[in-house]
């Protein structure tokens, strides 16, 4: 999603969207739109610095310092905010809002990555014409260099797909571009003739595109980008963070758990049978994969969007694994509430996402995180653009030793 100019210096892709004429708002290019939005954001940031620099918006507790900074309000991330009750909002728009507002692909119903990218970058809903033009621009500049293709082909076949993706993206900083159009992506996966899977990938990539800035992959891209490192390298770093089992592997674990249940109880499964399996999982000391969330306290709107997609497709309604996901959702929250050890007994997006991919024949579990990584490009790239536009500084928090933390806590000194 970043392109190289003739001097091999990598620049944001929108700088290549040249147009000498000013047009109506509904037909302006992405570059023209961003040119108008940047001064407004810069003025807003200047006002915050001038009027509120000394205002506190939260207290730093010892638990936050030694607990991975969870919940610490210490980061600017303008395109999305994660609300515990309502879920993710993109420039104030909820998942249902963006599904209604953003243009879909021709012949489809689901929003596509290009329209979500436009929203994340500008805070504005693009017209259908603007979305199509952006798709054409990206497709024209989306050829994979022979050198990068050869590099990937030379890697050991047993190397994890996420490692291969990170290596390939990092190599793109030399002279190439990143192709994120999901319709082209399904063709690359070998499923180009499957319209329903293409639709699912459009939805999946768009709603996974951004999820606030504090998650590991987004934060890593922001941190590396704050050094003015090349955008490809910043995004590659984010991919390697996403590859960690505590971040990007959740939907694989859900699918394994659901398949294990399916093998044990069979396809004709009842609510009572699922309830028994849930208690068996919990009593063994395991968690129920796909349920609970570090921030959310209600069902994840992204999960609901995927469920609605499944309910619109007759073949998914007849799929044993998809039906098991639905029935588990009908039972699990009450079981988890009764268990009493889960702050959020509701499903997150991973409770459904991998199971749909499995139904469509994508059974290579290790590859699921790669699709997640392609999705996360939208949010990471957006913030890299805005960090440069706003001139955000190098991220450099202060660190303390265990002894120093104890001394500060005892003295109550800042």
Q: Is 247 a catalytic residue?
A: yes
Looking at the domain assignment, is residue 275 inside a domain?
Answer: yes
Q: Which run of H or E residues covers position 214?
A: none
The CA–CA distances, whole Å, from 15 to 5, 33, 178, 273 equal: 10, 11, 15, 57
Instruction: Give 412's pLDDT tier (boundaries 50, 70, 90).
Output: confident
Q: Is 193 a catalytic residue?
A: no
Looking at the domain assignment, is residue 264 inside a domain?
Answer: yes
Quote the pLDDT of residue 343.
83
Looking at the domain assignment, is residue 326 inside a domain?
Answer: yes
Quote the pLDDT of residue 313.
92
Quote the pLDDT of residue 10.
36
Looking at the domain assignment, is residue 352 inside a domain?
Answer: yes
Annotated catalytic residue: which of 293, 300, 339, 359? 293
Looking at the domain assignment, is residue 286 inside a domain?
Answer: yes
**Closest listed residue to residue 237, CA positions, set 189, 141, 295, 173:** 173
* Candidate ranges 245-249, 329-333, 394-398; pick with highest mean pLDDT: 329-333
Question: Considering only 156-160, 294-298, 349-353, which range has the smallest mean pLDDT?
Answer: 294-298
Q: What is the pTM of this model?
A: 0.79
Q: Give pLDDT tens digits for 244-269.
A: 888 888 889 999 999 999 999 888 88
Annotated catalytic residue: which of 16, 160, 174, 247? 247
Residue 4 has pLDDT above 80, yes or no: no
Question: Considering only 21-35, 119-133, 272-286, which range has the smallest mean pLDDT?
Answer: 21-35
Q: Is 359 a catalytic residue?
A: no
Place of tokens 């395109």: 79
Quote the pLDDT of residue 105.
85
- The rounded percent of the chain whose pLDDT value lies above 70 is 91
Number of domains the chain is built from: 1
Indicate the average pLDDT of the chain.
86
Quote the pLDDT of residue 278.
96
Looking at the domain assignment, is residue 303 inside a domain?
Answer: yes
Quote the pLDDT of residue 3.
36
* CATH code, domain with 288: 1.10.230.10
Range of the domain at 341: 250-358
């Amino acid at each position: 999603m970043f392109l190289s100019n003739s001097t091999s210096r990598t620049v944001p892709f929108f700088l290549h969207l040249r147009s000498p004429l000013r047009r109506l708002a509904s037909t302006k290019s992405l570059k023209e739109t961003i040119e108008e939005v940047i001064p407004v954001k810069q003025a807003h940031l200047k006002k915050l610095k001038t009027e509120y620099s000394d205002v506190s918006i939260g207290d730093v507790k010892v638990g936050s310092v030694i607990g991975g900074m969870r919940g610490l309000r210490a980061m600017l991330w303008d395109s999305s905010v994660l609300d515990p009750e309502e879920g993710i909002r993109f420039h104030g728009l909820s998942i249902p809002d963006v599904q209604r507002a953003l243009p879909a692909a021709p012949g489809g119903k689901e929003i596509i990555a290009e329209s979500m990218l436009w929203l994340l970058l500008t805070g504005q809903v693009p017209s259908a014409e603007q979305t199509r033009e952006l798709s054409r621009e990206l497709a024209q500049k989306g050829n994979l260099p022979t050198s990068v293709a050869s590099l990937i082909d030379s890697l050991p076949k047993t190397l994890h797909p996420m490692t291969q993706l990170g290596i390939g993206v990092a190599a793109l900083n030399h002279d190439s571009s990143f192709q994120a159009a999901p319709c082209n992506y399904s063709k690359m996966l070998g499923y180009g003739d499957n319209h329903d899977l293409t639709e699912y990938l459009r939805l999946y990539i768009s709603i996974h595109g951004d999820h606030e800035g504090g998650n590991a992959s987004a934060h890593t891209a922001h941190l590396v980008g704050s050094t003015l490192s090349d955008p490809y390298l910043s995004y590659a770093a984010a991919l390697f963070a996403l590859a960690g089992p505590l971040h990007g592997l959740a939907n694989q674990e859900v699918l394994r758990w659901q398949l294990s249940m399916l093998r044990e109880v069979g396809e004709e499964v009842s609510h009572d049978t699922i309830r028994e399996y849930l208690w068996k999982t919990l009593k063994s000391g395991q968690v129920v994969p796909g349920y609970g969330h570090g921030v959310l306290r209600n069902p994840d709107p992204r999960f609901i969007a995927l469920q609605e997609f499944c309910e619109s497709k007759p073949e998914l309604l007849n799929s044993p694994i998809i039906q098991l996901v639905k029935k588990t959702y009908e039972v699990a929250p009450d079981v988890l509430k009764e268990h009493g050890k889960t702050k959020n007994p509701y499903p997150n997006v991973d409770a459904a996402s991998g199971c749909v991919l499995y139904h469509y024949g994508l059974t290579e579990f290790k590859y699921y995180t790669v699709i997640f990584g392609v999705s996360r490009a939208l949010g990471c790239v957006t913030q890299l653009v805005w960090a440069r536009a706003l001139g955000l500084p190098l991220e450099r928090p202060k660190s303390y030793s265990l002894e120093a933390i104890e001394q500060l806590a005892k003295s109550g000194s800042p």
